[in-house]
Amino acid sequence: MASGNEPIPIDDDYADASDDSVSNMSIASTIYQYRLENGRRYHAYRDGQYWAPNDQQARASEMISHHAFLLTLNDRLLLAPIQNPKRALDVGCGVGTWTLDFAEAYPNTATVGTDLSPIQPDTLPPNLHFEIDDCCSDWVYPKDHFDYIHIRQLYGSVADWAKFYRECYDHLTPGGYIEQVEVNPVPKSDDGSITPGDPLDECGKLAVRAGIAFGKSLIIEEFMHDEIAQVGFTDVVRIRYKWPIGAWSNDPRLKELGRWILVHWNEGLEGWVLRFFTKHMGWTYEGVKEWNAEMRKVLRDRKYHAYQDVSVVYARKPL
């Protein structure tokens, strides 16, 4: 698989092929209430602080992304060199798939997963529990408590990243690790197939503007390395990958990954943009539906060799 700094090799037969398909695969009672908006379901706790739906369609999209991350990391759940952690925290755990996998892989680690939505499974291993919490509020855990803090796809969720990283720093044990995995929503191409002003280029610009309008950047992937280092973490490592959108690579692993990413876009795109566009950018629901339909056509256009940047950053709190 190509690294994040290398061009993705292109399959010369891609433009003439036709199949990109993959099978789609005690808390206060108010926590369990949801907001219905434009036909989608959203969290009610800290209403409006997060942009993505939490309905079944969104949960299916999250499962696809989990599979894509496993493909990207060669079936590894993490890259940080942790050793026998006593306590671990997964911030913004979503449906809890990664958290559950981690707890099963590290049965001696007391693991906590937090999220705004109560959408995690009920049947859990004894070393795992989930909490409904807002990671942007002051943390209530003891200082120097966790040996490992994991963050994935928290883009568009945090207004003050410096404060957030300071909370992570303060609540890690000396020698403990933070690890963050983020996807950049801006599509790119190495061969010029995305040109200025075309739909995929405009899609990327809309993503940047949506984050600004919402007050929470969607492109944390670009600067999380520097922000983490500025808080005081040491041994900061950034590993970069590329997610092809579609099966256009001639590398077998990237071709398989690209199929899943295309499904991810088709399943997830409406949920990614709907609240941003209607509540923060002045779009109508009908306008979003029309744009989404046009983008689905663009995503099927084989002239594009588009990809997304993906970064993993891990770092250690000094001893």
List the pLDDT tens digit at each of the 319 positions of the chain.
Answer: 666 778 888 877 777 665 554 433 344 445 556 667 677 777 666 665 666 677 777 788 889 999 999 999 999 999 999 999 999 999 999 889 999 999 999 999 999 999 887 778 888 999 999 998 888 889 999 999 999 999 999 998 999 999 999 999 999 999 999 999 999 999 999 999 999 999 999 999 999 999 999 899 999 999 999 999 999 999 999 999 999 999 999 999 999 999 999 999 998 888 888 888 888 899 999 999 999 999 999 999 999 999 999 999 999 999 9
User: Residue 111: its pLDDT value, please?
Assistant: 98
pLDDT (0 to 100) of residue 136: 86
pLDDT at site 82: 97
What is the three-state SS of the chain? CCCCCCCCCECCCHHHCCCCCCCCCCCCHHHHCEEEECCEEEECCCCCCCCCCCCHHHHHHHHHHHHHHHHHCCCCCCCCCCCCCCEEEEECCCCCHHHHHHHHHCCCCEEEEEECCCCCCCCCCCCEEEEECCCCCCCCCCCCCEEEEEEECCCCCCCCHHHHHHHHHHHEEEEEEEEEEEECCCCECCCCCCCCCCHHHHHHHHHHHHHHHHCCCCCHHHCHHHHHHHHCCEEEEEEEEEEECCCCECCHHHHHHHHHHHHHHHHHHHHHHHHHHHHHCCCCHHHHHHHHHHHHHHHCCCCCCCEEEEEEEEEECCC
pTM as predicted: 0.87
Q: What is the pLDDT of residue 23?
A: 38
pLDDT at 70: 97
